[in-house]
Chains A and B, each alone.
Chain A
Amino acid sequence: MIEAAEPENSREWSDPEVHEGRLGPIFEDFAFFFSRVLVLFCPQSAVDLRSFACEAGAAGNSCIKDLSLGCVLFVVPVLTKLEVESKVREKNFRCCGAMTYFPDEVVEHIFDFLSSHRDRNNVSTVCKAWYLVEQLSRLRVFVGNCYAVRPERVMARFPGMKCLTVKGKPHFADFNLVPHDWGGDALPWIETAARCCPGLEELRLKRMVVSDESLELLARAFPNFKSLVLISCEGFSTDGLAEIATHCRGLRELDLQENEVEDHGRQWLSCFPDSCTSLVSLNFACLKGEVNTSALERLVARCQNLRCLKLNRAISIESLIKILARAPNLVELGTGSFTADHRTEAYQNLLNAFYKCNSIRNLSGFWDAAPRYLQAIYSICSSLTVLNLSYAPAIQVNDLIKMIRHCFKLQKLWVLDSIGDKGLAAVACACKELQELRVFPSDVYGTGIAAVTEEGLVAISSGCPKLNSLLYFCHQMTNAALITVAKNCPHFTRFRLCILDPVKPDPISNEPLDEGFGAIVKSCKDLKRLSLSGLLTDKVFLYIGMYASRLEMLSIAFAGESDKGMVYVLNGCKNLKKLEIRDSPFGDAALLENVGKYETMRSLWMSSCDVTQGGCKALAAKMPRLNVEVINEREESDEMVENPSDMHRVEKMYVYRTLTGPRDDAPDFVWTF
């Protein structure tokens, strides 16, 4: 989002005619964009525009190609055919001039149809007029790195902001590689929004530290606040939730996904006032503590628009039955523990309850599910599009298969690897609409029996041709299997493979997995995200650099042989936004080979590689608009900590582009060069 260069420097914004180099891309954006509008109304004018493009002499060929695609994106009813045609016929205006004939409201209306923040970033760089229109009309703001820009600057640029998304810690923080108090505090964002954008309605935070104090401020400062989504956050307790429940009138959504929440035992759920009837979505599945179930039942009963409800493990089947009775229109359900406190007629009641809920499309939970209760949901399996059983280690594979056989509309499936290759074969037979599959390790400590192998993946790839997103933890993988998968499923946008034993080669040929991953990147032209594992040499990076032109995020662990590997990637993947590397032999030479690249990316993480202090300093010196952060956790000799030499290897490095300079909340173990 704010990754687009801020056009504050007037040099960048003078008349586009003067800067020939800039003319082409601007016009390309403009004409491509504009052509979609025209094509909708008057195909004849598309021909005029083509000749117009040739006369303007800018990037003609690519425009024509875009025009011929002619895909219609949006409707602009205020324009009449005549108006548009007459404008295009005037041949002597500048490329950008055309759009200035439209009043700002028209341009703004056109921009309304751009939902992607990237599209909005792009149109805002076309010319100053468009920048101003776009800035005032942007409602949904996305900040991919909370330290890339200050909250004040964001809110000054987008005063009409209604929805803010902010991401904090680097991705590898999920795996305990980032120290606890590294940063990512949400409070500055909430405080600034309270001052500058009190009309804020939605806040989405990921991997940030959110204190109870922040939640309290959030609850009280925004009278129209409607939606809070917290993903992988920490730092708050049920006290903060109680504040939200108490003070957010008109709250529609409270979505807590995989957060570490301290249970202070307070009856936060009971804090929703009787007047609260607006809830549409409530997800507290990640909470460990108990809630007041009768308060929950009353809340559910009075929120007639509730469509998504995800219960935590403390909720038993008896409570679930009562809740379902009051919310038969649920579309998404997290079932809670799915086990009964007492073995009464729970089964029959459960069956009846689900029978009435024929809107359910998304199921999750099942924390302690016993087989005898699973059968109660077979009736709704056939309408499910999303099924998450990844927190249900109690479900045995045979019961899983029986259930899956009913799920022929399933698009997204998350399971544990206890499903086995046999279970995956059953999925391949039954779920022809499957688009996303995630197979998580059930035995996280890696000591268990081989659960899924390459066979399961190959079966899925041949049975589920629509598969485009994969996360697969397995014990082994072969090149042949990956090549087959690449052939069967050329539509992958996300491909993340994790072989549990690092640096494990192809067990049949004993070769590295370079060819297998190479086949994936060559075949899947839309691949945006890739995670590698297994034994890999520099060759796989050569393939990635050559073929993965749409790749945006790459995760590397225990791979490669030399600096060349990393250089192939940095020089090749032109859309790369995030690169994270651990335990790989890449050093200063690779780091410093293409320093300009990092300004086109959101961030680079390297840990347990061969980068030295001197390398980091050199990078920081060359690129002042990057923050080069080094995390020093060592507690060895003081001398080492206070004054390490430039030869000293850096354990953890995080580099990101920023408009703010070094951050002022860095703890003392984080050094910014």
Chain B
Amino acid sequence: MSTTETAHSSTESDASGLDYEETQLTLAPPGASRSDPERKRGLSDDDLPSDSSQGASIKPPQSKAQVVGWPPVRSFRRNALKSFTYVKVAVDGAPYLRKVDLEAYAGYQQLLTALEEMFSCFTARNYPNERRLVDPVSGAEYVPTYEDKDGDWMLVGDVPWKMFVASCKRLRLMKISEAINLAPRAPQGCTKEQ
């Protein structure tokens, strides 16, 4: 049941006893705890005065590392909700589709890099306001598009990354010649990497 969420490294985790285990793909059995044996508490003790009394406020953990089993959501539910972020990727002309987990990427750049690797015949080329993938053999250009929750086909890259992840149902690398009919892009094409 290990997750693929990348944990940001915690600069204070060793020194302060703050012990958020990083979740990462591992060959260890699920649920295997990697907690520090010397740890007394789940959270930083050094942040509290030594005679901690009520009202002492503990800083919320700064790192985004995950505590095992927190929040207490059943694994089944976690995995089910997670599977919502796997989307099919189709490429015009390819014999079969692939699937990617959008949650695994931090932004558009990583996604396109991954697509580039997946359909290894492409190289990514960055146009001033757009991203395209190019097949070096035929020179044909592909534009990444996606179907959103309302069923409309959109150009990838217009909305903030998180919004895209939440609304993307499937991806399609469309040949440029077919891309002319897509929804018009927002005036300022810059996107925020989040």
Contacts and interface: CB of A to CB of B under 8 A. Distances in A.
B42 interface: yes
A444 B57 contact: no
Contacts of A172: 69
A441 B77 CA distance: 10
Contacts of A177: 31, 33, 68-69
A446 B67 CA distance: 11
A636 B149 CA distance: 48
A379 interface: no
A629 to B, nearest CB: 15
Contacts of A180: 29-31
A465 interface: no
A537 interface: yes
Contacts, number: 136
B78 interface: yes
Interface string B16-39: 000000000000011111010111
B60 A504 contact: yes
Interface residues of A, number: 64
Interface residues of B, number: 46
A253 interface: no
Contacts of B42: 502-503, 557-558, 582-584, 608
The secondary structure that dominates the A interface is loop
Contacts of A371: 149-150
Interface string A174-197: 111111110000000000000000
Contacts of A440: 73, 77
Interface string A504-523: 11000011101000000000
A498 interface: yes
Contact of B64 (A260, A447, A514, A636): A447
A585 interface: yes
A155 interface: no
Interface stretch (B79-87, B112-120, B125-133): B79-87
Nearest to A607: B33
B12 interface: no
A11 interface: no
A445 B32 contact: no
B54 A232 contact: no
A537 B149 contact: no
Interface string B54-92: 110110110010111111111111101110100000000
6 contacts: A178-B31, A440-B77, A473-B71, A511-B54, A557-B42, A633-B32
Given A394-B84, A561-B52, A634-B37, 18 more contacts: A174-B75, A175-B68, A179-B32, A258-B77, A286-B76, A371-B150, A440-B77, A442-B81, A502-B42, A505-B57, A505-B58, A535-B57, A535-B58, A558-B42, A583-B42, A585-B40, A651-B35, A652-B33
Interface of A: 172-181, 232, 258-260, 286, 343, 368, 370-371, 390-391, 393-394, 396, 440-442, 444-447, 473, 498, 500-505, 510-512, 514, 531, 535, 537, 539, 555, 557-558, 561, 582-585, 608, 610, 633-634, 636, 648-649, 651-652
Q: Which 4 A-B pairs have the closest CB atoms?
A: A583-B42, A175-B69, A176-B31, A258-B76
Interface of B: 1, 3, 5, 29-33, 35, 37-43, 52, 54-55, 57-58, 60-61, 64, 66-78, 80-82, 84, 103, 149-151, 169
